[in-house]
Chain A
Amino acid sequence: MTLTAEEAARFAGLLEDNSDALVATWTERVAATLRGRLSHAELQRQHSELRKAFQQALSGGAQAIGDEPAAELRAQLSDLSASRARQGFSVTETAVSVFAFKAAVLTIVDQGGGSEAALRDYVALSAFVDEAALFTSDSYVRVREELIADQAEQLLELSTPVVKLWEGVVAVPLVGTLDSARAQVVMERLLQTLVDTGSPYAIIDITGVPAVDTQVAQHVLKTVVAARLMGADCIISGIRPQIAQTIVALGIEFGDIATKASLADALRYVLGKTGQAKRLGR
């Protein structure tokens, strides 16, 4: 049942005449669901703006949420979804703001006597509000997906630090899955740090990489070759027994690249080569 132009106009009038009562009932219902996580004043402000937008859409003759007169309403609903999504509300808690509008309208229709015609009008409005709620949920999901994509990007940055271990020695502790995107970030960071610090040695620690398959090995080997081209020597550390056996079975050759079981071994090896260990009295 879609909303006819007259029905829409009648509701626009109803929303206009009962604006205060409607917003009050509406806010009360939503506040009960959100259990105080949004202030009453904030909800009241959002709802009176939404009421205005609903009224505008209906008086403009909107029959579906996608119609031209409902543009302002759509913008309001998108804003609402975006703010709720960012504040960590669930999709239910977001859509409830729209669904509760129906309940509030029904209260007013009841007060008006609740004639059969009025109820039929209400059912038509209900379909319109449902569409609005679906639209709200859709935009909520869209905002959440954007958030997730942003976080994935931040994680990529976070998870690939290049640290200076000693004078002339930098280390890259790799943690998690090394896919092509991360391998690229790691290589760029490492090469840049080698230039910035003028370090002749780099240690790539793979202790935190759960599975070293041919793809991971290939990425690590490429990074080592690139570092060598820049004059730095690379040591791969964190080769645990099970990883060593797997690498052998896979047939991966690390050639003349130095590999060590632990980061400590790798550091000792480098310091031994540079002679710094002796100066430290060891």
Chain B
Amino acid sequence: MNQQGELIQVNSDQDVVRVRQLVRTVAVAVKLSLVDQTKLVTAASELARNTLVYGGGGTVEVTTVDNGRRPGIRIVFADQGPGIVDLDLAFTDGYTTGSGLGLGLSGARRLVDEFDIVTAPGAGTSITVTKWCR
């Protein structure tokens, strides 16, 4: 059973803050544990910033989901940016084309339960992450 999600346009640093606040609110609402809340909010912060910095802005959609046994949160980060050429390289800890630590993408994958990425050079990037209640 999927519920109607909330969509946020990400075009500035303030929008990343809004994404964080929304994810935290939803995480509290589905009763994620404090550790999982923090992990998901941090992952959302990383990915939303990637959408902004590397994707040139995009959208973030937060939906609550239920797999029949437990509830969870699904977040989709989509941009129409340049896409990722070498996924293996992008997921290497410490690798960055920008000026960050190079841990955002790989770190975010370790912070969530499910991580799905669809990207192609020139065709934008779409990342779907899911965190389930324990």
B98 to chain A, nearest CB (A): 11
Contacting pair B24 A214 (CB below 8 A): no
Of all chain B residues, the one with the shortest Cβ separation from A176 is B17
Contacting pair A213 B39 (CB below 8 A): no
**Complex Cα distance A242/B41, Å?**
11
Of all chain B residues, the one with the shortest Cβ separation from A181 is B13
Known: A180-B13, A210-B24, A251-B107. 12 other contacts (CB 8 A): A210-B20, A211-B45, A213-B45, A214-B101, A215-B49, A218-B101, A242-B37, A245-B38, A249-B39, A249-B107, A250-B111, A252-B103
Which of B20, B39, B93, B104 makes the CB contact (< 8 A) with A245?
Answer: B39
In the complex, chain A residues whose CB is within 8 Å of the CB of B104 = 213-214
Which of A177, A211, A217, A245 makes the CB contact (< 8 A) with B101?
Answer: A217
Interface SS of A by simple majority: helix
In the complex, chain B residues whose CB is within 8 Å of the CB of A212 = 42
A220 to chain B, nearest CB (A): 11
Contacting pair B103 A245 (CB below 8 A): no
Contacting pair A246 B111 (CB below 8 A): yes
The count of residues in chain B whose C-beta lies closer than 8 Å to any C-beta of chain A is 24
Contacting pair B34 A213 (CB below 8 A): no
Which of B17, B24, B35, B110 makes the CB contact (< 8 A) with A250?
Answer: B110
A-B contact pairs, 14 of them (CB 8 A): A177-B17, A179-B13, A180-B13, A210-B24, A210-B41, A211-B20, A211-B38, A214-B107, A215-B45, A241-B35, A245-B38, A246-B35, A246-B39, A250-B46
**Complex Cα distance A243/B41, Å?**
11
